[in-house]
């Protein structure tokens, strides 16, 4: 279920997916879906996780192999003195020996190996979710920064639109020539802010490109929507869903693996039987005979007590490790959830009051300026207030969707939201 839903991470919950683009993999405009698919295909962390599955599979195969037999050759009563000179009186024995494991030792090794494979497979799913979440967040950073530049561009255009009117007012003697310089300074300051944001965009684009497997961006821009939001479910439901996170699910397999390792440690002192069968030839009489040997080690001194204790502690440690892992995930989810809630409250204030009022004030002052009822400083101040309100809205939306992507990376499913129409 986690594997099937992981590719829908952030897409379904945040309405960020633009139109499907026909064409090559490296399209000029990158969508969220394209970014997620390319990140999964290019991630070296996923490749390493897949190799871990192969390593664990090899260990599982090795755990199930039988012990190899021993082939030995013995020669007695030779190269001595008297009648034992040379090999005339030698006794030669060709023997094969095999150790037989009892008490389910091989089964315990197989169980530990199989649990190791399951741990590696679940860990790969966890890495996949992390890659998807990181890619979604990187995509959102690029998308949000693009929008900030667009807002600043609109502010520059709005200031520049005042230039013809300002020149007419100066020519008519209604305004001081110094106001032309004031407008130029205001425009230059906004352009300086825009250049700073462009530097941030360059870094964000590079970070996204690296996640996609490229050293430099091979896309012109990203496309998606940041204007849609919704009401999240309760934090308790998020916490309940976290238990399905692969990082926590894998502890079930880890517990089984450590339990099998404890069983292996407990079974080690139980002796294995070694059976040997050989053919002995007596040179002196030219007779032959069969030789049979049965040997069993006596576990008097080493009963593997230290390894048993170590395995017991390692097994008991698993429960505490899982709880610590769960606590960490809850803290991360809590931060994201609080950010989400704060962003929603901020959006409510901005959309209900700040932006409409700033827009009305900017329009009224701009119209009044043409009639000589307001100064240029008031016009610029109104435009700056509107721009700041829109930038705050964009930042809140970006934080909202980043929080969604973070939570989806923890619960392994698209985050359920009560939809609202995009405003």
Indicate whether 9 pLDDT > 60.
Answer: no
Q: What's the average model confidence in pLDDT over 370-398? A: 89
Least confident among 229-233, 288-292, 392-396: 229-233
Mean pLDDT of 226-234: 78
* 3 compared with 47, residue with greater pLDDT: 47
pLDDT value for 416: 53
Mean pLDDT comparison of 63-72, 142-151, 238-247, highest-scoring range: 142-151
Q: Which residue has the higher pLDDT, 10 or 304?
A: 304
pLDDT at 175: 62
| Percent share of the chain, pLDDT over 70 | 89
Per-residue pLDDT tens digits for 135-179: 999 999 999 999 999 999 999 998 888 877 777 766 666 666 777
Residues in the chain: 423
Residue 246 has pLDDT above 60, yes or no: yes
3-state SS assignment for residue 422: coil
CB 91 within 8 A of CB 283: yes
C-alpha gyration radius of the chain:
37
Output the pLDDT for position 173.
Answer: 65
Distance CA 191, CA 402 (A): 27
**Is residue 37 pLDDT above 60, yes or no?**
yes
The model's pTM is 0.81
pLDDT band of residue 10 (cuts 50, 70, 90) is very low
Average the pLDDT over 216-242 and give the result. Answer: 86
DSSP summary character for residue 67: P
Token pair of 32 as six digits: 């969220």
Q: For residues 75 and 335, what is the distance between their CA atoms, to the nearest angstrom?
A: 77
Q: What is the mean pLDDT of residues 340-357?
A: 94
Mean pLDDT of the region 265-289:
88
Alpha-carbon 101 to chain mean position? 42
* Least confident interval from 77-86, 149-158, 280-289: 77-86
366 confidence band (pLDDT: 50, 70, 90): confident
CB-based contact 3:121 (threshold 8 Å):
no
| CB contact at 8 A, 175 and 163 | no
Please state the rounded mean pLDDT for residues 241-256.
90
Task: Report the number of secondary-structure helices (H) and strands (E) in the chain.
Answer: 11, 8
User: Residue 247 has which token pair?
Assistant: 């990082």
8, pLDDT greater than 70:
no
Q: Using alpha carbons, select from 423, 418, 413 the residue that is nearest to residue 225.
A: 423
Q: Which residue has the tokens 């509107």?
A: 386
pLDDT at 28: 82
Interval 277-299 mean pLDDT: 87
Distance of CA 407 to the CA centre of its chain: 12
DSSP reduced 3-state for 92: strand
Angle at 119 (CA atoms; ends 118, 120), nearest 5 degrees? 90
């Amino acid at each position: 279920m986690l594997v099937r839903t992981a590719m829908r991470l952030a897409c379904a919950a945040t309405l960020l997916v633009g139109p499907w683009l026909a064409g090559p993999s490296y399209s000029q405009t990158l969508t969220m879906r394209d970014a997620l698919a390319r990140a999964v295909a290019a991630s070296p962390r996923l490749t390493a996780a897949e190799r871990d599955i192969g390593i664990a599979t090899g260990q599982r195969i090795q755990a199930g192999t039988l012990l190899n037999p021993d082939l030995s050759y013995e020669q007695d009563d030779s190269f001595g003195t008297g009648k034992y000179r040379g090999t005339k009186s030698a006794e030669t024995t060709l023997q094969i020996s095999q150790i037989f494991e009892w008490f389910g030792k091989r089964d315990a090794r197989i169980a530990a190996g199989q649990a190791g494979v399951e741990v590696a497979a679940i860990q790969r799913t966890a890495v996949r979710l992390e890659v998807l979440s990181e890619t979604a967040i990187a995509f959102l950073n690029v998308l949000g920064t693009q929008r900030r530049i667009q807002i600043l561009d609109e502010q520059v255009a709005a200031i520049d639109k005042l230039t013809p009117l300002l020149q007419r007012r100066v020519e008519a003697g209604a305004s001081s020539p110094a106001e032309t310089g004031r407008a130029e300074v205001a425009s230059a300051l906004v352009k300086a802010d825009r250049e700073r944001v462009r530097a941030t965009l360059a870094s964000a684009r590079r970070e996204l490109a690296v996640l996609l497997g490229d050293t430099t961006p091979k896309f012109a821009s990203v496309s998606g929507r940041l204007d849609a939001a919704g009401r999240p479910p309760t934090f308790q439901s998020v916490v309940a869903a976290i238990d399905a996170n692969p990082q926590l699910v894998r502890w079930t397999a880890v517990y089984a693996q450590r339990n099998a390792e404890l069983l292996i440690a407990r079974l080690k002192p139980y002796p294995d039987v070694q059976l040997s069968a050989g053919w002995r030839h007596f040179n002196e009489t030219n007779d032959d005979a069969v030789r049979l040997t049965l040997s069993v080690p006596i576990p008097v001194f080493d009963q593997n007590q230290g390894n048993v204790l170590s395995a017991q502690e390692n097994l008991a440690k698993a429960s505490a490790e899982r709880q610590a892992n769960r606590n960490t995930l809850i803290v991360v989810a809590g931060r994201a959830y609080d950010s989400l809630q704060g962003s929603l409250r901020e959006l409510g204030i901005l959309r209900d009051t700040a932006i409409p009022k700033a827009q009305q004030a900017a329009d009224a002052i701009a119209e009044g300026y043409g009639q000589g009822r307001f100064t240029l400083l008031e016009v610029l101040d109104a435009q700056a207030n509107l721009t700041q309100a829109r930038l705050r809205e964009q930042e809140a939306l970006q934080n909202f969707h980043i929080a969604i992507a973070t939570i989806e990376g923890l619960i392994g499913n698209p985050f359920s939201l009560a939809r609202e129409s995009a405003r």
